[in-house]
């Protein structure tokens, strides 16, 4: 069944008022017709099966699906050059990320335009629909690396991926994981500067490795989030935990 | 240090004859100069530190690095539409794959042109250099799904990723892994057909899950290879194994 995300004010009792864009998407792009069913998501964890009317949709039933990770996962990602971040936002969303915090590192100082932020939020929304999530990840406004450290200071389990040196592998570090939220930080092309690594460690981060090969800035967040999601989901499914 | 891949016949004793393309790459693109050092790889696991002469390079020393996975990992990947496979080849190489076997599935019948295969092999070579690998992965000619099953029949540990149903998570399945090679098969957009899944199971494949969310054909191979590489490398580094 096709999926679309609504905002809270669109829902009144059992009726959802469709925006012009949603009508275009549902009737023109997806070629659905009046009377067809679809899934409406509020982007915060609730989903309904709805029946399409002309410019509204009637809620048929609450949907009981759960494709979200059991804990909150925040990705701190240094903004890379070019359009790589589109792909990072899309695949991080597919892999279950809760919050994305873009960061201006010493090696990646470019501040994105409001249009870019808008674009990334749209990509997150589309990817949440396509990967059948209940929650649309939050993409925060970019902050400095120092601010990213401060903003996540409350979280005990914070990991900084580094390309060099010989820290423990992220997968091994995740075996000791105990709390209800997790922060993973991925550097820009060329890696974090040693000053940034030192600051992160002083702030309570644990440095981890993603393996022996050098990953691109586009691949590293996926590799890290794949491991995090797998550990969280294969443990919660298994009887050994 | 900059890296480039040579073919066996370029090396005579301690001297490497540089091709015109390599000279262009080293001197024009990378802006290296006579007397500078670089790393030459034979694409099969050996690397040397060399000193550049005009149209040749002199071997200074054998390089003792090891960024390869401890076992052979074959990725069977259904060829997706569009240019997605460029990205699959690039990131699979970064994540340590040994062999890529493109497969024509019932949902992806397009046979790629020789130019495309050539392009993918070039991407694999570039990605091997950039991710600092010693081996350039082998990209085989595309085969039918049945042939892919036959070609890998000797390997005991073979996993077929499926998007639906509720099989064990790949990460959990990998805990029981024992042998010296591994095959992972990833379907096209829309997943394997049930006929393909049945055939793979009959041929000895184990079905596995990559988590609760639906991953795109571009993301699924990365997620699977991230888990495989992490299990192989975090175990081989840890004292518990």
- Which tokens sit at B9? 């016949």
Q: Which residue of B has its CA nearest to A219?
A: B91
Q: Which of A127, A138, A140, A142 is nearest to A44 (CA)?
A: A138
Please answer whether residues B3 and B46 qualify as being in contact, where contact means their C-beta atoms are separated by less than 8 angstroms. Answer: no
Whether residues B48 and B128 fall in one domain: no
Contacting residues for A29 by C-beta, under 8 A, at least 6 apart = none
Judge whether residue A238 has pLDDT over 50. no
Structural domain range at position B226: 72-237
Spell B73-98 as b/e; 16+ CB within 10 A means b.
bbbbbbbbeeebbebbbbbbbbbbbb
Say yes or no: B58 and B77 in one domain: no
Mutate to test the interface with B, among A66, A221, A230, A238 (most CBs of B within 10 A): A230
My answer on whether B37 and B111 are in the same domain is no
* DSSP-based three-state secondary structure for B152: coil
Cα of A65 to nearest chain B Cα, Å: 10
Domain CATH for A103 = 3.40.1280.10
Instruction: Tell me phi and psi for residue A155, to 5 degrees.
Output: -85, 130
On whether both A45 and A100 belong to a single domain, the answer is no
- Among A63, A82, A108, the domain-final residue is A63
Predicted local confidence at residue B235, as pLDDT: 62
Task: Provide mean pLDDT across the span A87-104.
Answer: 96
Lowest mean pLDDT among A45-54, A229-238, B124-133: A229-238
Q: What is the pLDDT of residue B5?
A: 87
Do residue A76 and residue A110 come from a single domain?
Answer: yes
CA A133 from centroid of its chain's CA atoms: 10
3 state SS of A20? helix
Question: What is chain A's mean pLDDT, rounded?
Answer: 89
Q: Do A223 and B226 touch (CB under 8 A)?
A: yes
Cross-chain residue pair A233–B226, CB shorter than 8 Å: no
Residues of chain B falling short of pLDDT 50: 237-241
A82 and A131 inside one domain: yes
In contact, A10 and A55? CB cutoff 8 Å:
no
pLDDT band at A235 (very low <50, low <70, confident <90, very high): low
Q: Are residues A54 and A15 in the same domain?
A: yes
Per-residue pLDDT tens digits for A199-233: 999 999 999 999 999 999 999 999 999 999 999 98
The pLDDT of A97-124, averaged and rounded, is 89
Residues 6+ apart with CB under 8 A from B122: none
- B142-155 pLDDT per residue, tens: 999 999 999 999 89
Residue B67 inside a domain? The answer is no
Q: Provide the pLDDT for residue B70.
A: 85
Phi, psi of B179 (to 5 degrees): -95, -170
Query: In whole angstroms, what is the distance from residue A62 CA to residue A14 CA?
Result: 10
Output the pLDDT for position A241: 27
B73 dihedral zone (left: phi>0; alpha: psi -120 to 50; beta):
beta
Tell me whether residue B33 is in a domain: yes
Please judge whether A94 and B230 are an interchain contact, meaning their C-beta atoms are less than 8 angstroms apart: no
User: What does the pLDDT read at residue B115?
Assistant: 94
Nearest by CB: A171 against B133, B215, B230: B230
| B181-186/B158-161 β-pairing | parallel
CA distance from start to end of chain A = 34
Give ∠ CA A103-A105-A108 in degrees, rounded to 5: 100
Amino acid A80: pLDDT? 81
Q: Which residues of B touch A131 (CB under 8 A)?
A: 213-216
More confident residue, B134 or A128: A128
Indicate whether A156 and A202 sit together in one domain: yes
Residues B213, A133: C-beta atoms closer than 8 Å: yes
Same domain, A33 and A115: no
Predicted pLDDT of residue B109: 62
Q: Give how far the C-alpha of residue A54 lies from the chain's centroid of Cα atoms, to the nearest Å.
A: 33
Same domain, residue pair B78 and B172: yes
Please check whether residues B52 and B102 belong to one and the same domain: no
Nearest to B230 among A211, A219, A237 (CB): A211
B57: CATH: 2.40.240.20
Structural domain includes residue B174: yes
List CB contacts (< 8 A) between B67 and chain A. 212-213
Q: What pLDDT sits at residue B239?
A: 32
How close A176 gets to chain B, by Cα (Å)?
14
- Which residue, A46, A63, A80, sits at the end of a domain? A63
Chain B residues touching residue A231 (CB < 8 angstroms): 171
Residues B46 and B115 in one domain: no
- The C-alpha R_g of chain B, in whole angstroms, comes to 20
Strands B15-17 and B11-12: antiparallel
Number of domains within chain B: 2
Domain boundary among B62, B86, B107: B62
What is the percentage of chain A residues whose pLDDT exceeds 70? 96
């Amino acid at each position: 069944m096709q999926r679309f995300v609504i905002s809270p004010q669109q829902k009144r009792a059992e009726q959802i008022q469709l925006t012009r864009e949603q009508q275009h998407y549902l009737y023109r792009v997806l070629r659905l017709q009046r009377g067809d069913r679809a899934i409406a998501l509020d982007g915060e964890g609730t989903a309904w099966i709805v029946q399409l009317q002309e410019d509204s949709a009637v809620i048929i039933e609450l949907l009981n699906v759960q494709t979200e990770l059991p804990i909150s996962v925040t990705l701190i990602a240094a903004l890379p050059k070019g359009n790589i971040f589109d792909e990072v936002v899309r695949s991080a969303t597919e892999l279950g990320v809760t919050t994305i915090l873009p960061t201006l590192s010493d090696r990646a100082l470019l501040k994105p335009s409001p249009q870019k932020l808008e674009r990334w939020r749209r990509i997150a929304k589309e990817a949440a629909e396509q990967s059948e999530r209940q929650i649309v990840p939050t993409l925060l406004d970019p902050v400095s690396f120092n601010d990213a450290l401060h903003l996540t200071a409350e979280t005990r389990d914070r990991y900084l991926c580094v390309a060099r040196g010989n820290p423990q592998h992220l997968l091994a570090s995740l075996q000791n994981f105990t709390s209800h939220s997790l922060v993973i930080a991925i550097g820009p092309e060329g890696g974090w500067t040693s000053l940034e690594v030192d600051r992160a460690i002083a702030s309570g981060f644990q440095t981890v490795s993603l393996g022996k090969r050098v990953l691109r800035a586009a691949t590293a967040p996926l590799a890290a989030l794949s491991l995090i999601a797998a550990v969280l989901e294969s443990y919660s499914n298994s009887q050994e935990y």
